[in-house]
Amino acid sequence: MPNYNWPPMESRRVMGKRVTRLDGIQKASGKAKYNSDVRPAGTIHGVILHSPHAHARIKSVDTSAAEKLEGVTAVRVVAPAGTEIQWAGAEIATVAARTEEIAHDAVRLIKVGYEVLPHLVREDDLSKAGSRAKPAGEAVTGDPDAAFKQADVVHEGVYGIPVITHCCLEPHGQTVAWNGDTVEYFPSTQNVSGIGGDLAKGLQLAAGKVHVHMDNVGGGFGSKFASDLWGLEAAKLSKASGGKPVKMYLDRNPEQTIAGVRPSVYAKIKLAAKKDGTFTAWDSTSWMTGGFAGGGLNADLLPYVYRQVPNRRINHTAVSTNNGAQRAWRAPNHPQVSYITCSALDDLAAKLNMDPLEFFIKNANLTAKPDVYTSQLKKAAELIDWKNQWHPRGDKRAGVIKRGLGLAVGMWGGAGHASQCRTNIHPDGTVEVELGSQDLGTGTRTVIVQVAAESLGLPMNAITLKIGDNSLPVSGASGGSTTVGGVSSSTRISNLNALEKLFEVVAPGLGVPPDQLEAVDGKVQVKGTPAKSLTWKAACQKLGVRTISEMGANDQRNPRGLNTGGVSGVHMADVSVDIETGVVKINKVVAVNDCGLVINPKTAEGQVYGGVIMGICSALMEERVADEGTGRVLNADMEFYKLAGIADIGEIVVHMDITPEHDKRGVVGLGEPATIPTTAAIANACANAIGVRVPTLPLNAKNVLNALNGRRLA
C-alpha cells in the first residue's frame, strides 16, 4: 500500500503555493457556463404562481384561461383546492410555455380562490407568539442560582439578530428534460452527486435514470442541496410538454422569500463574573424562527466557545411563523450564537471595567482550546493595534464621529466529507482526475489539480480534471466546509493508487522494486536518483494499450491523517459611528483563523475575505423584513434587502496560521469559520464606539439611533 501521507511541508512543489484559480479567466471573460445559462435545443420556459397570502386555504384553482393561451404547453396545479398555504410565496401552480413572457402571462390568467387565514410572521416579540411558541425545555449545569447570588458583577441584556436570506446571485432553479424514461437535469446545486437521486425519488424513478451536469454554480451558501419543488415541477412540466427541456428559475422575489433563510435568534441573557473577571454563570432564554416548522437552533452551543462556564441555564423556544423555511446558511447556528454570546460577554467585561481582550483571554480556560484562542486573540490584537487603539466603552473624544474596537470568537468542524476519486493514466501520458464534486467558487477545481500535480510529480496543466457530473465517482455535497478535506484526500489516495500500478509496470526496466520508485518533476525515477529515470511519457508508454484507472476514497472514519476537523478563529473590528446619522462605517476587520494544511493560500484568503464581507453585510444591513399586516416580505428584492458594496467593507486583514504545527493536522475546511465571528466583532466595536449596546442587528441608522436615544428592544 502506498504511503498516502502528505509530502513534508518544505518539499511541496505545488501544494501550498499561491496558485491562481484555474477557472478565473473563464469566469472573468463571461465564458463560464452556469446552468441558468444552459438552454438545450427546444428549451421552453417554466414560471411559478406564488401565493400572495401568508396563511390561506385554497378554495379553487381555475387554470382554463391559462391553458388556452397560445404558446402554453403545460399547466400544473401544485396546491389544489383544500390545500392550506403556510407562507407567502408558496407555490400554487406552474406553467410551461414557449417563452418566459408567455408563461408569465399564463400565470396571471390563473384564478385562485383563497380563504385568507390569520398569520404570524414576526417573532421578535415572543409575547405575541402564543401557542406558536414551542419551548424546548431547560438544560442546567452547575448551580446557576447560587452562582448569581455569589457573583460580584451581574449583567443582563437582550440581544437579537434577525432572519436573513442567502441571496445567492444565481437564483434557485434548473433546466430539466424528461421524456418519460430518462431525465437530463441541469440544476444550480451544491450537490452534484446527490441531487439526481433526490429528484429521481420525487419522480419515482430509479436514481440512475437522472443524469446531472453542472459546470458552475452562482452561489449556494447552504441553500442548494435538494431538487426542491421547482425541480420536480420543471421535470413534470417537461414530461407534459412532450419531453421538451423546461428552464425554470425563481424570480428574485420568491428567491428572497422561499428559497431559504438563516433563522433569527433573540435572547435574554444574564451572566455573572467575579471581580477579577472570572466568568462564573450564564443564563439565557432564547427564541427564534426558521419558518413554519419552527426550525432548530442548537442552543446547547451556548455560551458559545466559552461553554465550559461552570454554571449555566439554557432555555430555548422555536416559534412557528408563516414564512418560508430556513435552510443551512454558511455555518448554521454559529454566527448567531457567536453574536449573542460575544455581545453579552463584551457587555459583562464593560460592566467589570475590564478590557474585553483581557477578559476573553482570562477565561480562555473555559474554551475547548485555551492555547489556540489565547494566541489568536493576541495575534489579532497585534494586527489591529488593540493596545494603542482600544479605549474603555464610549469614545470620549469631541465630535460626532465615534470610533471603537471590538472582538469576537468562533469555532467550526470542517473535516472532509465522503468522497471518491478516480485517476486514469493513459499510455500517451495524459492523466484524468474524476470526481462527482462541484466548485462553488471556493477554488475546489484548483486545489484538486494542485494535489494531483503534487502527487504525480507533474505540472498542473498535465492534469485534466472532470467534476460536475453525477456519472463521475460519488463525492459529497459541498456543505459544512467539508469539501476541501474530502476531495483533497480522495484525490491523493486515488493518485497514489494509480501511481503504484504504473510503478509496477515500469520497475523491471529500471531494475528496482516498484516501492523504490518516485514520480517527480515529470519523471518516474529511482528514489533520489534522477539519473535512473524515465520521462513521464516514456513511463506511460510502457502501459502498452492499457489505461490505469484507480479509485481512492476519503473514509470519514479513517481519514489517514490527511484531513481533520476542529478550528478556531478570532475576528476584530475597528468601526466609526456617526452619532448624528447613525451610520456605521467599517475601518478595518482583522481575521485570524487556523485551518490546518493550506493547499492554496490565495483562494483560502479569498474564502476569508468573503466570509468577513458576509459578516459585515449581516452586521450592518441584512434583515428580512416581514410585514405583520400583509404577511409578506417587504424587501424581497436587492434594493431594499441590502448587501455591502465595494465601498462598504473597509480594510480587511487576513491572517492564517500556516505553521508546521497546524500543517501536520492535515486539511481542514475554512469557508464557514471565516464568517462566524465577524458580525459580533463589529457589533462590539460599535458598542465600544458609542458607549451603548445596539441590542438588535443590523446596525442600521434606525437601530443605532434608537439605542443612542435609550430605546430598548421590546
Give the one entry of another protein, ligand FES, none that residue 555 binds, where binding means its C-beta sits below a cut-off of 5 to 8 angstroms depending on kind: none
For ligand FES, which is the closer residue by CB, 2 or 219? 219
In the bound complex, what is the minimum distance in angstroms from residue 697's beta carbon to another protein?
16
Question: Which residues in the 595-654 window bind ligand FES by CB under 6 A?
Answer: none
Q: CA–CA distance from 682 to each of 289, 438, 440, 586 (Å)?
A: 24, 33, 27, 8
CB of 638 to ligand FES, least distance (A): 7
Residue 248: Cβ-neighbour burial (10 angstroms; 0-12, 13-18, 19+): buried
Count residues binding ligand FES (CB under 6 A).
3
Q: Strands of 111-116's sheet, edge to edge?
A: 84-85, 56-62, 111-116
Residue 404 phi, psi (nearest 5)? -155, 165
Q: How far apart are CA 452 and CA 233, in angstroms?
A: 40
Q: Is the dihedral of CA 71, 77, 81, 83 positive or negative?
A: negative
Residues comprising the chain, all counted: 714
Kindly state the smallest distance separating residue 163's Cβ from another protein, in Å. Answer: 17
CA 430 from centre of chain: 35
CA atoms lying within 13 Å on the CB side of residue 148: 13
The binder of 610, among ligand FES, another protein, none, by C-beta within 5 to 8 A per type, is: another protein
99 interacts with, out of another protein, ligand FES, none, CB within 5 to 8 A per kind: another protein
Task: Residue 667: name its binding partner from ligand FES, another protein, none (Cβ under 5 to 8 Å by kind).
Answer: none
Contacts of 484 (CB under 8 A, 6+ apart): 416, 442, 444, 447, 563, 599, 667, 668, 669, 670
The span from the CA of 342 to the CA of 157, in Å, is 12
Shortest CB 514 distance to another protein, Å:
40
Q: Which does 511 bind (CB under 5 to 8 A by kind): ligand FES, another protein, none?
A: none
CA–CA dist 156, 152 (Å, integer): 14
Residue (165 or 576) nearer to ligand FES, CB: 165
Show the binding pattern over residues 201-230: x = contacts ligand FES (CB under 6 A), - = does not: ------------------x-----------
Question: For ligand FES, what does the binding mask look like between residues 346 and 385, x meaning CB under 6 A?
Answer: ----------------------------------------
- Complex with another protein: residue 356 or 698, whichever CB lies closer: 698
**Site residues for another protein per CB under 8 A:** 20-21, 23-25, 27-34, 36-37, 39, 45, 68-70, 99-102, 104-105, 108-109, 167-171, 216-219, 221, 251-252, 440-443, 602-603, 605-606, 609-614, 621, 637-640, 642-649, 652
Query: Which H/E stretch holds residue 499?
Result: helix 483-510
DSSP states along 453-489:
HHHHT--GGGEEEE-SBTTSPBB--S-TT-HHHHHHH
Which one, 31 or 396, has the nearer CB to ligand FES?
A: 31
- Minimum CB separation of residue 613 from another protein in Å reads 3
For the bound state, the minimum distance from the C-beta of residue 675 to another protein, rounded and expressed in Å, comes to: 9
Nearest to 522 by CA among 8, 14, 6: 14
| Of 103 and 539, CB closest to another protein | 103
Tell me the CA distances in angstroms from 591 to 345, 364, 422, 474, one per residue in order: 19, 18, 36, 34
The candidate with the shortest Cα–Cα distance to 436, out of 169, 197, 223, 94, is: 197
Which cell numbers hold the place of 309? 462556564
CB of 653 to another protein, least distance (A): 10
Say which residues have a Cβ less than 8 Å from residue 557's Cβ, sequence separation at least 6.
none
In Å, how far from its chain's centre is CA 147? Answer: 38
Our CB check for ligand FES shows the closer of 510 and 617 to be 617
Helix (H) or strand (E) holding 673: none
With respect to ligand FES, which residue has the nearer C-beta, 524 or 644?
644
Which C-beta is closer to another protein: that of 276 or that of 639? 639
Query: Which is closer to ligand FES, CB of 277 or CB of 441?
Result: 441
Q: Which does 125 bind (CB under 5 to 8 A by kind): ligand FES, another protein, none?
A: none
CB of 663 to ligand FES, least distance (A): 29
User: 201 or 602, CB closer to another protein?
Assistant: 602
In terms of CB distance, is 355 or 439 closer to ligand FES?
439
Which lies closer to another protein via its Cβ, residue 399 or residue 645? 645
Cross-strand bridge partners of residue 94: 48, 76
Closest residue to ligand FES, Cβ-based?
A: 169
Distance between CA 50 and CA 133 in Å, rounded?
27
Phi, psi of 277 (to 5 degrees): 95, 5
Q: Which residue has the cell 478563529?
A: 569
- β-bridge mates for residue 249, sequence order: 173
- Residue 95 site contact among another protein, ligand FES, none (CB < 5 to 8 Å, cut-off depends on kind): none
Query: Residue 34: which of another protein, ligand FES, none does it interact with, CB under 5 to 8 A by kind?
Result: another protein
Min separation Cβ 329 and ligand FES, Å: 16
Distance between first and last Cα of the chain: 64
Q: Among residues 219 and 310, whose Cβ is nearest to ligand FES?
A: 219
List 187, 291, 436, 441, residue binding ligand FES (CB under 6 A): 441
Residue 102 CB, shortest distance to another protein, in Å, is 6
Least separation in angstroms between residue 451's CB and another protein is 19
- In whole angstroms, give the CA distance from residue 607 to residue 70: 48
Q: Which is nearer to ligand FES, 22 or 421 (CB)?
A: 22
Contacted by 313, from another protein, ligand FES, none: CB < 5 to 8 Å by type: none
Q: Do 222 and 332 contact (CB within 8 A), yes or no?
A: yes
142 near ligand FES, rule: CB under 6 A = no
Bond from prior residue into 673 cis (ω within 30 degrees of 0): no
The radius of gyration of the chain from alpha carbons, rounded to an integer in Å, stands at 28
Rounded CA separation 149/143 (Å)? 10
Measured from the CB atom, the residue of 173 and 666 that comes closer to ligand FES is 173
Binding ligand FES (rule: CB under 6 A), the pick from 169, 207, 368, 714 is: 169
User: Minimum distance between the CB of residue 564 and ligand FES, rounded to whole angstroms?
Assistant: 28
Could you tell me the smallest distance in angstroms from the CB atom of residue 610 to ligand FES?
A: 8
Q: Please, what is the Cα angle at 253 between 243 and 258, to 5 degrees?
A: 75
Q: CA 577 to CA 562: how far, in whole Å?
A: 45
CB of 428 to another protein, least distance (A): 25
What are the residues binding ligand FES (CB under 6 A)?
169, 219, 441
